[in-house]
Amino acid sequence: MNVEDLDLGDVVYAAHTIVDDGSMPESEEGEVLAQEGARGVIVMKGHVEEDPGLTVFLVRFEDQDLNLGRPIGCWTEDLILPEEELVTH
């Protein structure tokens, strides 16, 4: 299985620290939105209108207290699969 095959409700992890590029409402550019390795759940999946082959995921990542944060737009390269998914597929 690869990230492109994922859908709503699937668990993923942040492949690297995800930082606001200035496009997140109520955040400041440069603010850390998810730490590398943070666990998250996909809440929406879509495609970029100008490039239908480009998938974008909305992911809610857990904070240190295991509370889900607000949805963050992520590209495929921002996400990795849980280790058990990599082993079994």
DSSP-derived 3-state class of residue 50: coil
How confident is residue 65, by pLDDT bands cut at 50, 70 and 90? very high
Determine the Cα–Cα distance for residues 49 and 45; give it in Å rounded to an integer. Answer: 13
88 pLDDT exceeds 50? no
**Contacts (Cβ under 8 Å, ≥6 apart) of 62:** 38, 39, 40, 68, 69
Determine the Cα–Cα distance for residues 4 and 55; give it in Å rounded to an integer. Answer: 7
Domains of the chain and any CATH numbers: 3-88 (2.30.30)
How confident is residue 25, by pLDDT bands cut at 50, 70 and 90? confident
| pLDDT of the residue at 52 | 87
Q: Are 12 and 59 in contact (CB under 8 A)?
A: yes
Tokens of 23: 């496009």
Task: Indicate the pTM of the whole model.
Answer: 0.85
